């Protein structure tokens, strides 16, 4: 995986750039010593590390604007960073780029229960939003596993999901407005407490744009009333294919649970060793199904789901009898990644999505690939929406294992696309899946996406080297190819 | 004056390429049901997608439906209904409103991002567009999105297509997420003397755990009727109606509507038949819900207006008259936390005298124009449907 070649003239100007940034920002907002910068050299994709040119931690929107404008005027690249929990390397620094951290934007600015919104600065953590409103019975629905640490601004950049997005949607379905700064340093506000902002849906394309279009400086999200009852069900299966089929059966019956997760035997046992969640160790696969709503509804649907599961071949069913037990059921799932971290020196977490009905086929292919590459795999799925998180276990100190694990991961994602799915369901492309974009998109598809980038950042200064495998110059992308490359009537003025 | 009715994607591409080469802009339509919505398109030739029709893939168990952009909305809704499913964003049916024979095409609904009452709980049309393929104004075929529920691969161009009013690309096939239709629905009406009380009833309902799927207010007698819709499995709806009634018993006179009454009420909201017939102008205001009563009070003070509210108060349908109403509407919004207003219907002279959509500030307007240029540098597709700030230069990008 290669980042764009650093520009030598920028590296040579480092002292001047650091000096200029220090003049724009208050004391303590510019970090330029290599030891302290070390803390920013990677994100959640820690296999890749790189020191930035300099780190800036502005405190106000005006300062973000000043920094971006200066960088634009001086041709200096910027990599935005929230909490640095990205699993795809979206915040991986560039040697010739300024790392712009939003960590000091850590205030919730308004809670509005009447309109059911929270407005927060981008560095506020996802969980802090729920924490701020839970005493009044509200919560913020998207709940990525990293919610204790990940920032709401980063959630916008990555369009983060979580176990409950099956029913409540991803970040994009829960954000109402943003303030953002463009690479020109212009401050733009889109949306707010009203719905469907006028004009082209810039809020929609900003969400999930991985820090390539602008820097978010304020976020307004909708909050929801906590359901009256939440209960979870653990369903064991003797083979993974049956479990995969059961997921489709529930959805086909017209039931959309709040969450429907799946773990295979290696993941079950790793989680069980770690937190004693009470999972059936002998099961080949485990489904965790959560239902929420009024108590009568939850009871009724639990009953229906249990019947469907038995019909689908379930070998064991347990329903949470208390809030404590429900949390225990989830504890295993939510700690699945660190749990796997204990049984293997290293792991790679993949993130493809496939049509639900392809789950059984994918699981069969997965075990074949595991044998082919000689690497163990533990599977944790957001099964309800077909989002896979295979964890490939390897040892980075063993000669060639990282490369083998990466090849294994790439083959999984190619299979996802071949089965009608996509490369990433919620972790983003970043640098990790950048070079696989061609598996899913044609050159023309990617060029049209990059033309959108040009509308925001024509000089490719904002987070270049992420998402797109090839950077085309905007002038080249803008050319119209009609009449064999010649514009019609080139002498007349354009509109 | 030519009218093209392509039957496949290749033909669409050829027509757009010819238009680009000849620099003759195209008016992109389905069945022309929403020609009155938005600015008057500055094009002599029409590209109608009405012959590019049909559901090409429908997998109920995957909650996915794929259809050509010219497929009639009614055909989609009937097909889903037969399978116990629905378009959760509850598209508006504008045929009565614009005096048209039917509600138009799927492509038109998506291009205009027209969502109905369930917008407040389930999301907008834009939240259900999983993917599409299209011909850009550069006459280039491209695809975006997928047929799966969860996808963050590349920019989410689906969001951009929704609400672009055909100004960026001509969609060929549209992939939608669909949802099971609730097995039971009923509504609770709360009649109040004052609009603020009706609005408070909606706010309390949506702030409760009863999960309303719609919240509207209409004038009723001398007062106001707030209506909250509950949907789901029957046992749950019955339980939630009881909780909601207990919660709201002090705010006004309660009545549980019958299934038929309830259905009629929400169809009236879907059809925008909630305003008195014959209003000279109709505006759609998207506002911060709690400010809706103040905005209306301010407009009522200076103008004769009729209105109904949806989206828990966040949407005001406003009927009125006079050339100065538009300015009053935009000023009222500006004084109450922003929001935006669209002129949905008006006599041509009034329509021509002012912007149809909310004018944008310079920074946002500039971005919009540059996005247009990224997809359609020669302004071939639906020019003037949305007024864009500044001039575009095909060679600037």
pLDDT at A191 over 70: yes
pLDDT at A334 over 90: no
pLDDT band at A3 (very low <50, low <70, confident <90, very high): confident
Determine contact: B394 vs chain A, CB below 8 A. yes
Task: Report, in angstroms and rounded to the nearest whole number, the Rg of chain A calculated over CA atoms.
Answer: 24
Choose the final residue of a domain: A50, A67, A101. Answer: A101
**Under an 8 A CB cutoff, do B235 and A195 touch?**
no
Determine contact: B334 vs chain A, CB below 8 A. no
- Indicate the residue of B20, B84, B372 with minimum beta-carbon distance to A482: B20
pLDDT at A486 over 50: no
Chain B interface, best mutation among A184, A200, A353, A433, by max B CB count within 10 A? A200
> In order of start, what are the domains of chain B with their CATH numbers?
1-181+359-397 (3.30.465.10), 184-270 (3.30.70.2190), 281-352 (3.30.70.2030)
Distance of CA A201 to the CA centre of its chain: 20
Q: Parallel, antiparallel, or unpaired: how do β-strands A215-222 and A229-237 relate?
A: unpaired
Query: What mean pLDDT comes out for the span B160-187?
Result: 97
Q: Which residue shows structure tokens 């041509």?
A: B348
Residue A438 lies in a domain: no
CA atoms within 13 A on the CB side of B214: 29
Choose the final residue of a domain: A72, A101, A130. Answer: A101
More confident residue, A117 or B396: A117
- Indicate the residue of A195, A467, A480 with minimum beta-carbon distance to B154: A467
pLDDT at A376 over 90: yes
Q: Which residues are within 8 A (CB) of B155 and not within 5 positions of it... i.e. 6 or more apart?
A: A205, A208, A209, A213, A449, A452, A453, B144
Residue A15 lies in a domain: yes
B74-90 pLDDT, tens digit per residue, is 999 999 999 999 999 99
C-alpha A325/C-alpha A231 separation (Å) is 9
The per-residue pLDDT for A482 is 55
Chain B interface, best mutation among A171, A475, A495, by max B CB count within 10 A? A495
Q: CATH number of the domain that A206 lies in?
A: 3.30.465.10
C-alpha B346/C-alpha B349 separation (Å) is 8
pLDDT at B395 over 90: no
pLDDT band at A494 (very low <50, low <70, confident <90, very high): very low
Based on the fold, state whether residues A346 and A418 are members of the same structural domain.
yes
Cα–Cα nearest to B154, from A469, A390, A162: A469
- Chain B CB contacts of A356 under 8 Å are 61-62
The per-residue pLDDT for A495 is 34
The per-residue pLDDT for B249 is 95
- Indicate the residue of A188, A213, A426 with minimum beta-carbon distance to B150: A426
- Chain A CB contacts of B342 under 8 Å are 198
pLDDT at B71 over 60: yes
Based on the fold, state whether residues A247 and A359 are members of the same structural domain.
yes
Residue A454 lies in a domain: yes
Determine contact: B24 vs chain A, CB below 8 A. no
Query: Which DSSP helix (H) or strand (E) runs through A346?
Result: strand A346-349
The per-residue pLDDT for A224 is 97
**Under an 8 A CB cutoff, do A196 and B115 touch?**
yes
**Under an 8 A CB cutoff, do B395 and A494 touch?**
yes
**Under an 8 A CB cutoff, do B370 and A201 touch?**
no
Q: CATH number of the domain that A82 lies in?
A: 3.30.43.10
Q: Are A201 and A94 in contact (CB under 8 A)?
A: no
pLDDT at A352 over 90: yes
Q: Are A267 and A277 in contact (CB under 8 A)?
A: no
Average pLDDT, chain A: 94
- Indicate the residue of B364, B375, B397 with minimum beta-carbon distance to A474: B397
The per-residue pLDDT for A96 is 98
**Under an 8 A CB cutoff, do B288 and A193 touch?**
yes
B78 has which bridge partners?
none
A172-182 pLDDT, tens digit per residue, is 999 999 999 99
Based on the fold, state whether residues A283 and A396 are members of the same structural domain.
yes
- Chain B CB contacts of A195 under 8 Å are 119-120, 124, 286, 311, 314-315
Based on the fold, state whether residues A49 and A155 are members of the same structural domain.
no
Residues recorded for chain A: 495
How would DSSP label each residue in A11-67? HHTHHHHHHHHHHHS-TTSEE--HHHHGGGS--S-TT-----SEEE---SHHHHHHH
A150-166 pLDDT, tens digit per residue, is 999 999 999 999 889 99
A125-144 pLDDT, tens digit per residue, is 999 999 999 999 999 999 99
pLDDT at A1 over 80: no
Based on the fold, state whether residues A311 and A409 are members of the same structural domain.
yes
Query: What mean pLDDT comes out for the span B272-279?
Result: 90
Residue A437 lies in a domain: no
Q: Which residues 158-177 of chain B have a CB within 8 Å of chain A?
A: 158-160, 162-164, 168
Q: Parallel, antiparallel, or unpaired: how do β-strands B223-232 and B169-177 relate?
A: unpaired
Determine contact: B374 vs chain A, CB below 8 A. yes
B113-124 pLDDT, tens digit per residue, is 999 999 999 999
Based on the fold, state whether residues A257 and A325 are members of the same structural domain.
yes
C-alpha B191/C-alpha B189 separation (Å) is 6
Determine contact: B83 vs chain A, CB below 8 A. no
pLDDT at B390 over 80: no
A458-479 pLDDT, tens digit per residue, is 999 999 999 999 989 999 998 8
C-alpha B191/C-alpha B212 separation (Å) is 17
Which tokens in the block code for residue B320? 């009125």
- Chain A CB contacts of B144 under 8 Å are 445, 448-449
Provide the shortest C-alpha distance from residue B46 to chain A (in Å).
20
pLDDT band at B278 (very low <50, low <70, confident <90, very high): confident
Residue A350 lies in a domain: yes
Residue A129 lies in a domain: yes
Based on the fold, state whether residues A281 and A387 are members of the same structural domain.
yes
Based on the fold, state whether residues A116 and A194 are members of the same structural domain.
yes
Give the Cα-Cα-Cα angle A286, A290, A291 (nearest 5 degrees): 145
pLDDT at B153 over 90: yes
**Under an 8 A CB cutoff, do B364 and A190 touch?**
yes
pLDDT band at B392 (very low <50, low <70, confident <90, very high): very low
Sheet-wide strand order for A108-112? A108-112, A117-120, A215-222, A175-181, A187-191
Provide the shortest C-alpha distance from residue B99 to chain A (in Å).
25
Q: Which residues 97-156 of chain B have a CB within 8 Å of chain A?
A: 113, 115, 119-120, 123-124, 126-127, 136, 138-144, 146-156
Provide the shortest C-alpha distance from residue B198 to chain A (in Å).
13
Query: What mean pLDDT comes out for the span A484-493?
Result: 42
pLDDT band at A493 (very low <50, low <70, confident <90, very high): very low
Give the Cα-Cα-Cα angle A185, A186, A188 (nearest 5 degrees): 135
Residue A329 lies in a domain: yes
Query: What mean pLDDT comes out for the span A244-248?
Result: 94
Q: CATH number of the domain that A234 lies in?
A: 3.40.462.10
pLDDT at A275 over 80: yes
pLDDT at B394 over 70: no
C-alpha A492/C-alpha A475 separation (Å) is 19
**Under an 8 A CB cutoff, do B311 and A433 touch?**
no
Determine contact: B357 vs chain A, CB below 8 A. yes
Q: Are A111 and A118 in contact (CB under 8 A)?
A: yes
The per-residue pLDDT for A481 is 62
Residue A479 lies in a domain: yes
**Under an 8 A CB cutoff, do A355 and B148 touch?**
yes
pLDDT band at A491 (very low <50, low <70, confident <90, very high): very low
- Chain B CB contacts of A424 under 8 Å are 151-153
pLDDT band at B397 (very low <50, low <70, confident <90, very high): very low
Based on the fold, state whether residues A266 and A374 are members of the same structural domain.
yes
**Under an 8 A CB cutoff, do A114 and B60 touch?**
no
- Chain B CB contacts of A138 under 8 Å are 207
Query: What percent of chain A has pLDDT above 90?
Result: 91
DSSP class of residue B251? T
pLDDT at A488 over 80: no
The per-residue pLDDT for B276 is 87
Continuous H helices in A253-294 = 265-275
A416-458 pLDDT, tens digit per residue, is 999 999 999 999 999 999 999 999 999 999 999 999 999 999 9
Domain that holds residue A457: 444-495
Provide the shortest C-alpha distance from residue A170 to chain B (in Å).
8
Query: What mean pLDDT comes out for the span B60-78?
Result: 97
The answer, yes or no, to whether ipTM is higher than 0.90 is yes
Q: Say how many domains are in chain A.
A: 4
C-alpha A99/C-alpha A76 separation (Å) is 11
Based on the fold, state whether residues A294 and A428 are members of the same structural domain.
yes
Choose the final residue of a domain: A71, A101, A131. Answer: A101
Based on the fold, state whether residues A80 and A151 are members of the same structural domain.
no
Based on the fold, state whether residues A350 and A247 are members of the same structural domain.
yes
């Amino acid at each position: 995986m290669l980042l764009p070649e650093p520009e030598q003239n920028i590296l040579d100007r480092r002292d001047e750039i650091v000096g200029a940034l220090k003049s724009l920002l208050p004391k303590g907002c510019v970090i330029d010593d290599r030891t302290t910068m070390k803390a920013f050299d990677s994100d959640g994709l820690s296999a890749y590390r790189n020191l930035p040119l300099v780190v800036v931690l502005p405190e106000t929107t005006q300062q973000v604007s000043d920094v971006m404008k200066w960088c634009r005027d001086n041709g200096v690249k910027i990599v935005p960073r929230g909490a640095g929990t990205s699993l795809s390397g979206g915040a991986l620094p560039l040697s010739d780029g300024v790392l712009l951290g939003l960590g000091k934007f850590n205030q919730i600015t308004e809670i509005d229960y009447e309109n059911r919104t929270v407005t927060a600065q981008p560095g506020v953590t996802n969980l802090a939003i729920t924490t701020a409103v839970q005493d009044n019975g509200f919560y913020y629905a998207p709940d990525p596993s990293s919610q204790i640490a990940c920032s709401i601004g980063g959630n916008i950049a990555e369009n983060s999901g979580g176990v409950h997005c099956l029913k409540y949607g991803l970040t994009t379905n829960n954000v109402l407005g943003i303030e953002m700064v463009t690479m020109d340093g212009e401050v733009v506000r889109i949306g707010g407490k009203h719905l469907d902002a006028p004009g082209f849906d810039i809020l929609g394309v900003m969400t999930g744009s991985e820090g390539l279009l602008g820097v978010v400086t304020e976020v307004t999200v909708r909050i929801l009333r906590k359901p009256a009852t939440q209960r979870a069900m653990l369903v064991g299966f003797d083979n993974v294919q049956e479990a995969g089929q059961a997921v489709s059966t529930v959805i086909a019956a017209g039931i959309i649970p709040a969450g429907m997760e799946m773990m295979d035997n290696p993941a079950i046992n790793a989680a069980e060793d770690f937190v004693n969640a009470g999972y059936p160790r002998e099961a080949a696969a485990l489904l965790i199904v959560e239902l929420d709503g009024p108590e009568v509804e939850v009871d009724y649907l639990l009953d229906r789901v249990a019947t469907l599961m038995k019909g689908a071949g379930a070998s064991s069913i347990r329903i949470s009898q208390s809030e404590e037990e429900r949390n225990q059921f989830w504890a295993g799932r939510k700690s699945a990644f660190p749990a796997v971290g204990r049984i293997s020196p290293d792991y790679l977490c993949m993130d493809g999505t496939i049509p639900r009905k392809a789950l059984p086929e994918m699981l069969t292919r997965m075990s074949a690939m595991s044998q082919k590459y000689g690497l163990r795999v533990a599977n944790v799925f957001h099964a309800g929406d077909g989002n896979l998180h295979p964890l490939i276990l390897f040892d980075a100190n063993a000669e060639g294992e990282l490369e083998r694990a990466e090849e294994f991961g790439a083959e999984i994602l190619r299979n996802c696309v071949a089965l009608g799915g996509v490369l990433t369901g919620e972790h983003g492309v970043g640098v990790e899946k950048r070079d696989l974009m061609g598996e899913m998109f044609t050159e023309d598809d990617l060029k049209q996406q990059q033309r959108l980038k040009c509308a925001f950042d024509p000089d490719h200064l904002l987070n270049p080297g992420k998402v797109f495998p090839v950077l085309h110059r905007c002038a080249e992308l803008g050319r119209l190819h009609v009449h064999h490359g010649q514009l019609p009537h080139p002498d007349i003025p354009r509109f | 004056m030519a009218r093209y009715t392509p039957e496949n994607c290749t033909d669409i591409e050829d027509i757009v390429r010819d238009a680009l080469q000849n620099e003759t802009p195209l008016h992109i339509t389905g069945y022309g049901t929403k020609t009155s919505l938005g600015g008057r398109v500055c094009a002599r030739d029409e590209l109608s997608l009405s012959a590019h029709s049909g559901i090409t893939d429908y997998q109920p168990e995957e909650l996915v439906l794929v259809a050509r952009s010219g497929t009639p909305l009614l055909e989609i809704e009937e097909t889903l209904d037969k399978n116990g499913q629905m378009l959760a964003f509850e598209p508006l049916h504008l045929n009565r409103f614009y005096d048209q024979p039917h509600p138009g095409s799927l492509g038109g609904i998506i291009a205009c991002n027209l969502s109905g009452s369930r917008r407040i709980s389930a999301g907008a049309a834009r939240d259900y567009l999983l993917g599409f393929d299209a011909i850009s104004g550069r006459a280039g075929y491209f695809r975006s999105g997928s047929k799966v529920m969860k996808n963050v691969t590349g920019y989410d161009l689906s969001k951009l297509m929704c609400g672009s009013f055909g100004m960026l690309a001509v969609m060929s096939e549209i992939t939608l997420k669909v949802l099971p239709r609730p097995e039971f629905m009923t509504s609770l009406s709360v009649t109040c003397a004052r609009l603020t009380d009706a609005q408070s009833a909606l706010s309390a309902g949506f702030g409760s755990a009863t999960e309303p799927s719609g919240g509207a207010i209409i004038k009723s007698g001398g007062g106001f009727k707030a209506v909250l819709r509950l949907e789901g499995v029957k046992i749950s709806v019955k339980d939630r109606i009881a909780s909601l009634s207990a919660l709201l018993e002090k705010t006004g006179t309660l009545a549980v509507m019958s299934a038929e009454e309830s259905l009629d009420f929400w169809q009236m909201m879907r059809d925008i038949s909630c305003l008195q017939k014959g209003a000279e102008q109709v505006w759609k205001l998207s506002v911060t819900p709690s400010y809706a009563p103040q905005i209306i009070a301010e407009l009522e003070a200076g103008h004769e207006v009729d209105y109904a509210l949806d989206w828990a108060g966040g949407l005001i349908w406003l009927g009125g008259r006079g050339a100065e109403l538009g300015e009053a509407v935009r000023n009222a919004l500006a004084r109450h936390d922003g929001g935006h207003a669209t002129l949905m219907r008006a006599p041509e002279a009034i329509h021509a005298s002012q912007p149809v959509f909310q004018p944008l500030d310079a920074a946002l307007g500039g971005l919009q124009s540059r996005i247009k240029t990224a997809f359609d540098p020669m302004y071939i597709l639906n020019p003037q449907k949305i007024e864009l700030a500044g001039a575009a230069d095909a060679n600037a990008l």
